[in-house]
Amino acid sequence: MIQNSLYLHIPFCKQACHYCDFHFSTNLKTKEGVLAQMHLELQSKAALSPWKSTTLKSVYFGGGTPSILASSELKELLNAIKSLFSYAHDMEVTLEANPDDITLDKLNSWHDLGINRLSVGIQSFHETELKACNRAHDSSMAHSALEMINASAFSNFSIDLIYGMIGSSITSWKENLDLAYSYAPSHISCYILAVEKRTVLDKQVRTGEVVLPSDHIALQQFADLREWAKIHNYEHYELSNFSQPGRHSIHNKHYWSYQPYLGIGPGAHSFNGEQRSWNVSNNIRYAKGETGDHENLSVREKLNERLMVRLHTSDGFILSRDLVPLGLSPDMIARFTYNINNALEQGKIIEIPGGFRISASDWIVSDRIISDLFIED
């Protein structure tokens, strides 16, 4: 049976982070209706191919802020999932949690529900950086949450950090990394602060209200991150992700392996191997049963997407695994070969047995490199 992943989008937050462009709402009035519709969507999708013949390898509660849900609401969703889908005995179940939501009682309850991995949105341990991004927690809450996790039954948890933060420096970033390490997380995800369109941060940058660190500082922070990971034996297995040996995120690796996944909830995306689909990004309309849209992917689009996800990883792009199954035309193979040979000659990619990859030190500029490999119309 095919192994797939399930993502549940919980589109509610206490307050809006200035950099966030994910679908969310700080209005909780639609929560009951949204959750009811998520149950209906789970039932309908579980009866369709390829999901009806799926064994779930991972379940991921993302958002938004999934930790805003009551334990009873999480329990109902997990019970529904287990009644509708086949699932592996060692299924990874991840809950994204904000520090201000974490208590010992909640940790115990989550663990009892079968949640076996946490992704904790720390972002920074520095008060000024947290305030600049309008995070709901402060530095003391970040430390307290991680202390409670260390005292709980959770041994598998990830810490999210952001570099290139407003007001951050090379020194403050190193302090963030060392503080994170002091709590012995099995996994760390580190993202560069991106200025997304139509966010508060976008407006602040355009009006000059805030000034981001220079590209030089951000690049140095990325280099320091890689050196820190090497010293502390964290494997840099994807652009933004580092883990202790054997503790890679199963759910995220599923995405990067270009495998099918099912998304449930407002704004959630799905991929069945041939078609990409997405739900309406509006809580009221979703709760009323409105669906979203889809697109059928051409061979060219599949190839370009595989290049994008595979070349962000340490595994790289393997021809027998990632190219041959697509059945490219001779013309497309010729264009692909031309682009790859050019990139190899220019040192943008490096050859590995059976394929090629981008050096991890260049991952921070990988999008630029990968776009040159794309096959155009």
Cβ-contact 261, 50 below 8 angstroms: no
- CA dist., res. 40 & res. 20, Å (int): 28
What tens digit of pLDDT does each residue of 48-86 get? 988 988 899 999 999 999 999 999 999 999 999 999 999
According to CATH, the superfamily of the domain at 2-256 is Aldolase class I (3.20.20.70)
- CA dist., res. 352 & res. 357, Å (int): 7
What tens digit of pLDDT does each residue of 157-201 get? 999 999 999 999 999 999 999 999 999 999 999 999 999 999 999
Domain ranges (residues) in the chain? 2-256, 298-377
Q: What's the DSSP call for residue 214?
A: P
The mean predicted confidence, pLDDT, of the chain is 95
- CA dist., res. 23 & res. 41, Å (int): 18
Q: Alpha-carbon dihedral of residues 128, 168, 236, 107, nearest 10 degrees? A: 0
Task: Tell which residue, 46, 55, 94, has the closest CA to residue 74.
Answer: 94
Residue 228 has pLDDT above 70, yes or no: yes
Packing angle between helix 104-113 and helix 139-150, nearest 10 degrees?
Answer: 50
What tens digit of pLDDT does each residue of 189-222 get? 999 999 999 999 999 999 999 999 999 999 999 9
In 66-156, where do the E strands start and end?
Answer: 86-97, 117-123
Cβ-contact 193, 130 below 8 angstroms: no
Cβ-contact 349, 340 below 8 angstroms: yes
Place of tokens 């379940």: 59
Residue 2 has pLDDT above 90, yes or no: no
Q: What's the DSSP call for residue 25?
A: B
What tens digit of pLDDT does each residue of 248-305 get? 999 999 999 889 999 999 999 999 989 999 999 999 999 999 999 999 999 999 999 9
- CA dist., res. 292 & res. 37, Å (int): 14
Q: For residue 290, what are the CA distances in angstroms to 50, 165, 284? A: 22, 37, 9
* Three-state DSSP state, 121: strand
* Paired tokens of 47: 């009866």
Q: How confident is the model at residue 225 (pLDDT cuts 50, 70, 90)?
A: very high
Pairing of strands 2-10, 261-264: parallel
